[in-house]
Amino acid sequence: MTTQKIIYTEVDEAPALATHSLLPILQAYTSWSGVTIEKKDISLAGRIIANFPEKLNPEQRQPDDLGELGQLCLQPDTNIIKLPNISASIPQLKGAIRELQEQGYDIPDYPDEPLNDTEKKLQERYAKVLGSAVNPVLREGNSDRRAPAAVKRFGQKNPHRLMKPWPQDSKSRVAYMNDGDFYGSEKSMTMDQHCRVRIEFVGEDGKIQILKKEMPLLAGEVVDTAVMNVAKLTSFFAAQMAAAKKEGLLFSLHLKATMMKISDPIMFGHCVSVYYEDVLTRHAAVLKKLGINVNNGFADIEVRLEKLPEAQKDAIETDIKACYGNNCRLAMVDSRHGITNLHVPNNIIIDASMPVFIRDGGRMWGADDELHDTIAAIPDRSYATIYQKVVEDCQTNGAFDPATMGSVANVGLMAQKAEEYGSHDKTFVAPGQGSIRLVSEEGVILLEQTVEEGDIFRSCQTKDAPVKDWVKLAVSRAREAGTPAIFWLDENRAHDRELITKVKRYLSDHDTKGLDIRIMNPVAAMDFSLERIRRGEDTISVTGNVLRDYLTDLFPILEIGTSAKMLSIVPLMNGGGLFETGAGGSAPKHVEQFLREGHLRWDSLGEFCALVPSFEHIHKISGNDKARLLALTLDQAIGKFLEKGKSPSRKVGELDTRGSHYYLALYWAESLAAQTEDEALGKRFAKVAKDLLDKEETIINELQDAQGKTMDIGGYFHPDKAKTAAAMRPSPTLNAIIHAI
Ligand SMILES: NC(=O)C1=CN([C@@H]2O[C@H](COP(=O)(O)OP(=O)(O)OC[C@H]3O[C@@H](n4cnc5c(N)ncnc54)[C@H](OP(=O)(O)O)[C@@H]3O)[C@@H](O)[C@H]2O)C=CC1
Ligand SMILES: O=C(O)CCC(=O)C(=O)O
Ligand SMILES: [Mg+2]
């Protein structure tokens, strides 16, 4: 029998823990089918180890699985189940390095401010694992994200209870800049032929500094430049903090420091500098000596203060306290531990944080552990305005009702590092006053931006083939779903104007008869979608890469309480399939709870749902009928799983991730037993189903007994495999049944 391979990614935090329990079940259940499931390590720790082998013992080394997967994504028969992984901020990266060093891995320290060429090289090598370094490599296709029909039906029948009412007199709002932002400065053009350009800075003295030597552009490619004016950015922060103080609102900041790993930590740092300005100026000399980097958040200041003599530290801490007294109140990420919104850049990831702000009635947590109205600052207007539209809608019409609200699915332009999310290697801080420009090999200036020292310049690329594919995907989704599909494109944005031209052209290549496909600016598109949502109607949003990210957390979190249950398919442009699990992240809070009390609340529904199209894809490519049977029976099992309410609970002592995997195994075995296409298989799984059902009480008791105590898995970023496996598979009875398959 020829076999087909599914690659299952080994990741970090909660989904990595869940994998220890789920994967053995998956491997056992597919063992008869010719489908093999193989692990590849794309965890943060794994990527660090793979990239710094030189001083490691041979047994510590590991291959560059991510590099291999990047190549595989270009092959037609590739099939990957991609779980969410850490996109590391610098504090997370340093945490992982420290942990590996403590475990005896000779890995170099991350050089904060490289002092020589060797350190510069090191920083460049670490850039490969910093921020969103996995997804852009694998995403060789556009994205199709939606709530599976069964999940949405279940969500309406059993509405989540996380939605909170909006106060009558809600004063919350989204604040954004009126000028000087990326939106205001954007310039864009479409290349009529292939060419190579460089990015250079020209100072007022006419001196040229090359920022990027070479950037190839293809014919039909859209290229943009934009600048964030830092003086205007800091005035914006100061004005919003003053407004928050005056109106008694909390202040919060929402950025995407992971995907936008160069620009957003800098903007975050400016916000920290404005808020703590008094302390930072008064103690500038001492803090500089300590090597503080505001881009890493207030936590960096706090940790480094520990190095000071007691008296000096006390003086600074007194001034920090005064800062909190004199300034506006900050929204908290963890009020119990005094962790504010400005603590570390990875705590305020906009796609996850804004939906929760809206779900909580337009409020965030204050230091008093109560919810308060808040100014949510999202500096750049490009996408901030859509959130303000939702805020206004809720202030007028009240909170959404998950029992009746419609759904917004998404078709996202993502392939080949499209748009802002591929811009980090073309993002620069202006070295002085002057201009930054894109110049062709022939010396023609294609795009030019005026800059002041410290401004953030960025250039984005959007290739033509992905746009064509995106339009095609939108048309086919609109046809399958039978709902309106809206392209969210803003005629007032230079980049979007180029895309509008392309979209109109490529739409005409398709049969769109009977389809309702429109182009609207993002605010109008949001308005249109919200109106439909409130009437219980569904809409497809067809968006660029950033809105793909924002909307696929926003709507699911409002509709079903979480984005973990989303179907997230990436049809790879060369024919393979990348099946992402859910639309959210790796849930660090879940690990914290697991370590504290042995209860893991990670819901693997995203993984279950992703496996169905993954098996279908195998069937489509190879004709393996058993893969089709796996898809069919798993789909039935998921239906029953939802119906019976076997998702993990949030509370210790109740069903957790491990118990939820037991029930999936039971229902899947029942479906495999009930099918009539393959008699031998039916018999085999009838026994499995019987064993699992007969032992239900014993298994649940064994799993329950493992809860209620602290857990030691030998690490956070790089836990001990044997310890974690033991912790995640504590039922000998269940293990024996799975083992016997
Ligand atoms: N695709 C990817 O690879 C992505 C990776 N990330 C990475 O994930 C990390 C955390 O990001 P963050 O923005 O905090 O967002 P997360 O999505 O990890 O967490 C936000 C909250 O969503 C809920 N949640 C998410 N997934 C699940 C699930 N499967 N089951 C149950 N609840 C779930 C949890 O709510 P509650 O606590 O209330 O239970 C969780 O605390 C970061 O390091 C980030 O880089 C982020 C987004 C996507
Ligand atoms: O890659 C990342 O850092 C995050 C990805 C993400 O949030 C998404 O695709 O929704
Ligand atoms: Mg996201």
Asked if residue 222 and residue 118 are part of one domain, the reply reads: no
32-79 residue pLDDT tens: 999 999 999 999 999 999 999 999 999 999 999 999 999 999 999 999
Ligand 2 center–CA 493 separation, angstroms: 24
Please give the pLDDT value at position 112: 87
Q: Tell me, yes or no, whether 113 lies in a domain.
A: yes
Residue of 142, 143, 258 to mutate, ligand 2, most atoms within 8 A of C-beta: 258
Q: Which amino acid is at 703?
A: L
Banded model confidence at residue 336, pLDDT cuts 50, 70, 90: confident
**Which residue, by CA, sits nearest to atom 45 of ligand 1?**
87
Report every protein residue that has its C-beta within 5 angstroms of ion ligand 3. Answer: 351, 549
599-608 residue pLDDT tens: 999 999 999 9
Tell me, using a 6 A CB cutoff, whether residue 91 lines ligand 1. no
**Which residue, by CA, sits nearest to atom 46 of ligand 1?**
585
**Which residue, by CA, sits nearest to atom 6 of ligand 2?**
549
Is the pLDDT at 106 greater than 70, yes or no?
A: yes
Measuring CA to CA, how many Å separate 277 from each of 252, 269, 422?
17, 11, 32
Give the atom of ligand 1 at the shortest distance from the alpha carbon of 602. Answer: 30
Ligand 1 center–CA 345 separation, angstroms: 15
Provide mean pLDDT across the span 178-203.
Answer: 98
Q: Tell me, yes or no, whether 518 lies in a domain.
A: no
599-657 residue pLDDT tens: 999 999 999 999 999 999 999 999 999 999 999 999 999 999 999 999 999 999 999 99
Tell me, using a 6 A CB cutoff, whether residue 660 lines ligand 1. no
Ligand 2 center–CA 655 separation, angstroms: 29
Provide mean pLDDT across the span 690-697.
Answer: 98
Percentage of the chain beyond pLDDT 90 is 98
State the complex-level ipTM.
Answer: 0.99
SS (H, E, C) 374-416: EEEECCCHHHHHHHHHHHHHHHHHCCCCCCCCCCEEEEECCCC
Asked if residue 200 and residue 109 are part of one domain, the reply reads: no
Banded model confidence at residue 1, pLDDT cuts 50, 70, 90: low
**Which residue, by CA, sits nearest to atom 2 of ligand 2?**
132
Asked if residue 582 and residue 708 are part of one domain, the reply reads: yes
Asked if residue 581 and residue 444 are part of one domain, the reply reads: no
Is the pLDDT at 90 greater than 90, yes or no?
A: yes
Tell me, using a 6 A CB cutoff, whether residue 130 lines ligand 1. no
Q: Which of 412, 441, 461 is the last residue of a domain?
A: 461
Provide mean pLDDT across the span 144-156.
Answer: 93
Is the pLDDT at 348 greater than 90, yes or no?
A: no
Among residues 549, 558, 609, the alpha carbon closest in space to that of 582 is found at 609
Provide mean pLDDT across the span 444-468.
Answer: 98
Among residues 347, 277, 274, 374, the alpha carbon closest in space to that of 589 is found at 347
Please give the pLDDT value at position 347: 86
Interatomic CA distance for residues 499 and 419, integer angstroms: 11
Ligand 3 center–CA 554 separation, angstroms: 9
Q: Tell me, yes or no, whether 166 lies in a domain.
A: no
In this structure, of 197-201, 297-301, 590-594, the range with the lowest mean pLDDT score is 297-301
Asked if residue 723 and residue 582 are part of one domain, the reply reads: yes
3-state DSSP assignment of residue 648: coil
Q: Tell me, yes or no, whether 565 lies in a domain.
A: no
Ligand 3 center–CA 347 separation, angstroms: 14
Residue of 549, 553, 563 to mutate, ligand 2, most atoms within 8 A of C-beta: 549
Asked if residue 194 and residue 129 are part of one domain, the reply reads: no
Tell me the Cα Rg of the chain.
26
Please give the pLDDT value at position 23: 98
Interatomic CA distance for residues 93 and 639, integer angstroms: 39
Interatomic CA distance for residues 686 and 675, integer angstroms: 10
Asked if residue 189 and residue 130 are part of one domain, the reply reads: no
Q: Tell me, yes or no, whether 198 lies in a domain.
A: yes
Q: Which of 436, 461, 486 is the last residue of a domain?
A: 461
Supply φ then ψ for residue 69, to 5 degrees: -65, -35
Is the pLDDT at 127 greater than 90, yes or no?
A: yes
Provide mean pLDDT across the span 450-457.
Answer: 98
Give the closest ligand to the alpha carbon of residue 43: 1
Instruction: Annotate 331-388 with DSSP letters as a single string.
Output: PEEEGGGTEETTS-GGG-BHHHHHHHHHHTTSEEE-TTSSEEEEEEE---HHHHHHHH
Q: Tell me, yes or no, whether 64 lies in a domain.
A: yes
Provide mean pLDDT across the span 112-131.
Answer: 93
Asked if residue 55 and residue 112 are part of one domain, the reply reads: yes
Among residues 225, 347, 337, 256, the alpha carbon closest in space to that of 297 is found at 347
Asked if residue 188 and residue 75 are part of one domain, the reply reads: no
Asked if residue 200 and residue 61 are part of one domain, the reply reads: no
Provide mean pLDDT across the span 358-369.
Answer: 97
Please give the pLDDT value at position 52: 98
Q: Tell me, yes or no, whether 14 lies in a domain.
A: yes
Asked if residue 726 and residue 605 are part of one domain, the reply reads: yes
Among residues 638, 741, 649, the alpha carbon closest in space to that of 704 is found at 649
Q: Which of 435, 461, 487 is the last residue of a domain?
A: 461
Q: Tell me, yes or no, whether 602 lies in a domain.
A: yes
Per the structure, the complete domain to which residue 198 belongs is given by 183-229+423-461
**Which residue, by CA, sits nearest to atom 21 of ligand 1?**
587
Residue carrying structure tokens 């069919």: 632
Tell me, using a 6 A CB cutoff, whether residue 602 lines ligand 1. yes
Residues with CB under 6 A from ligand 2: 87, 132, 135, 258-259, 351, 549, 552, 583
Interatomic CA distance for residues 103 and 97, integer angstroms: 10
Please give the pLDDT value at position 410: 98
Asked if residue 718 and residue 589 are part of one domain, the reply reads: yes
What is the count of structural domains for the chain? 2
